[in-house]
Chain A
Amino acid sequence: MKRTENYVKIEFLSRSTNESFARIAAAGFAAQLDPTLDELGDIKTAVSEAVTNAIVHGYPDELGRILLKLRIAEGGVLEISVRDWGRGIENVEQARQPLFTTGGAERSGMGFTIMESFMDRLSVKSQPGKGTTVTMRKRIATRANGKR
């Protein structure tokens, strides 16, 4: 991975009120890359999905900690990772399938599909009983150098 130009780490409790906080923090950090409104929307949506997964599936019956890492790498690449130390995912391939959910009626099973379609890259590492880390990357093209 390319050289780090800037990063922040934010740790918070798995309370659903923090979903909104996490996506606003990510959008605020990403703003230094001068993203379009559309790109900001993509970033907020992907963070909201990843953090919601950690809250709903990582810690279904308890409160736990969630670590949001935001990194800007050379070339305008934003890397977002969301880590929890919760229950973990038995079968990551299955979890990534559209419409698969164990989350009940207010979940759609589309979280990973949305993350995949709104970001350039998505990786999921998980171990049952130890937790899950979702890492996503998106290149934010610089508008100042005439690329668009």
Chain B
Amino acid sequence: MEISASSRERRLTLRLKGELDHHGARGLIRRAEQEIDTSLPLQLALDFGGVTFMDSSGIAVVIRCRQRMRELGGTVTLCQVPAQPRKVFEASGITRLVAME
């Protein structure tokens, strides 16, 4: 799992690339929290455009990011989510808590 970050006007975008499973989830959570703590955004956009596979580990990542963003008074948005991860998000019900563009 590769992650690239860009921040502009308190909107932090994390672009995820590769397969998101339990094997990579811990590292991804750590990196995402570091990026959030560095740029203190009001909006976090998780860009799934490059994610080729995701299981329920992705839900845990989003939940953790949402918790951190709530502490900062901000929000999380999921962007460019391909069909397979989208189905996992929808089955989990997390789309009721987090906006999906």
Contact = CB atoms under 8 A, between A and B. Distances in A.
Interface string A43-66: 011001100100110000000000
Contact of B55 (A17, A98, A114): A114
Contacts of B59: 108, 110
B22 A106 contact: yes
Interface stretch (B9-17, B38-46, B69-77, B85-93): B85-93
Interface of A: 16-17, 19-20, 23, 37-38, 41-42, 44-45, 48-49, 52, 55-56, 98, 105-108, 110-111, 113-114, 117-118
A108 B87 CA distance: 16
A118 B91 contact: yes
A106 B21 contact: no
A113 B83 contact: no
A20 B18 CA distance: 11
